[in-house]
């Protein structure tokens, strides 16, 4: 593991005391810098500030302003903003449109990484989140399960190089699909649509890392012709579409390529 990217969570003590946002980001940053001292190839950490989509628009507006302030103060650590929580019981992106326009109105660059379209129901409000996410210039689409049902949105996301975050195990656990060979992203993978593999909520599912989702994507979604090239492309996509700075991506890619070449050489000699 050469870098870490995660959605926001406040730091708390065993006593129940919660630290504020600035203290938390600064502490994360200091711990990462200390880790680099003993692991010099570690690229760094990125935090996507997030809040729950069950909250009122005024609360989310304040969260967005907080995210803007944190990104201004910690531009190399705070990567952007996301709305998390259940799409079906929470509010739509359209409901939050005024709050989500604050960064643009204030001239502050705050990338969005929206969860959108985690549904197999076409025409539902969750389904339409895909369209609003793209209209709001999202950097990535979390899940994007419904994308294949919107040809224009699919073409636009491909043209703009906006990847979907595919979560195979999560999609099975939540009953969106049972047989991954029938996963809608299988068709997108076949035509080379931008995508990355994510574990969604690994702790809730009892998973210990991302390898399990890579395995399921490779064995089920990739089809009979999936091979080492498939795994290589998915791994490279993880770097390409990460929130790392361009210089960090270039460094990471060089480190990864050397390790990949060594892996291939080891396989070839066995």
Is 115 part of the annotated catalytic residue set? no
**Neighbour count for residue 240 (Cβ, 10 Å):** 16
Helices vs. strands in the chain: H and E counts, helices first? 12, 7
Catalytic residue selected from 118, 165, 216, 248 = 118
Measure the CA–CA gap between 147 and 122, rounded to whole angstroms.
Answer: 10
Q: How many residues does the chain have?
A: 270
Q: Which residues contact 14 (CB under 8 A, 6 or more apart)?
A: none
C-alpha radius of gyration, the chain, whole number: 19
128 and 94 Cβ atoms separated by less than 8 Å: yes
CA-to-CA dists, residue 29 to 22, 23, 55, 127, 165, angstroms: 11, 10, 28, 36, 25
Is 143 part of the annotated catalytic residue set? yes
Measure the CA–CA gap between 266 and 260, rounded to whole angstroms.
Answer: 10
Measure the CA–CA gap between 172 and 135, rounded to whole angstroms.
Answer: 29
DSSP-assigned states of every residue in 102-144: HHHHHT----BEEEE---S-TTSHHHHHHHHHHHTT-SEEEE-
Nearest Cα to Cα of residue 81 among 106, 105, 107, 62? 62
Q: Which residues contact 131 (CB under 8 A, 6 or more apart)?
A: 150, 153
61 and 99 Cβ atoms separated by less than 8 Å: yes
Catalytic residue selected from 91, 115, 143, 193 = 143
Known catalytic residues are 118, 143
């Amino acid at each position: 593991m050469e870098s870490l990217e995660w959605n926001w969570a406040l730091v708390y003590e065993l006593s129940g005391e919660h630290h504020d946002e600035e203290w938390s980001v600064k502490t994360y940053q200091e711990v990462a810098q200390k880790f680099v001292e003993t692991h010099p190839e570690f690229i760094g950490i990125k935090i996507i500030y997030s809040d729950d989509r069950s909250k009122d628009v005024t609360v989310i507006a304040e969260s967005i302003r907080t995210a803007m302030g944190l990104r201004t103060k910690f531009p190399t650590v705070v990567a952007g903003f996301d709305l998390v929580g259940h799409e079906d019981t929470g509010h739509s992106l359209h409901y939050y449109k005024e709050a989500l326009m604050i960064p643009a109105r204030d001239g502050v660059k705050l990338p969005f990484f929206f969860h959108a379209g985690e549904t197999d129901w076409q025409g539902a409000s969750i389904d339409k989140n895909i369209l609003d996410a793209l209209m709001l210039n999202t950097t990535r689409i979390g899940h994007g399960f419904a994308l294949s049902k919107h040809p224009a949105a699919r073409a636009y996301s491909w043209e703009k190089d906006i990847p979907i975050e595919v979560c195979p195990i999560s999609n099975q656990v939540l009953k969106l699909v049972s047989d991954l060979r029938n996963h809608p992203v299988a068709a997108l993978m076949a035509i080379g649509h931008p995508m990355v593999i994510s574990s969604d909520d690994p702790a809730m599912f009892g998973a210990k890392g991302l390898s399990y989702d890579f395995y399921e994507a490779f064995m089920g979604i990739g089809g009979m012709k999936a091979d080492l090239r498939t795994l290589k492309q998915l791994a490279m996509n993880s770097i390409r579409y990460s929130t790392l700075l361009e210089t960090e991506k270039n460094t990471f890619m060089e480190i990864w390529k050397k390790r990949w070449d060594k892996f291939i050489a080891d396989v070839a000699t066995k």
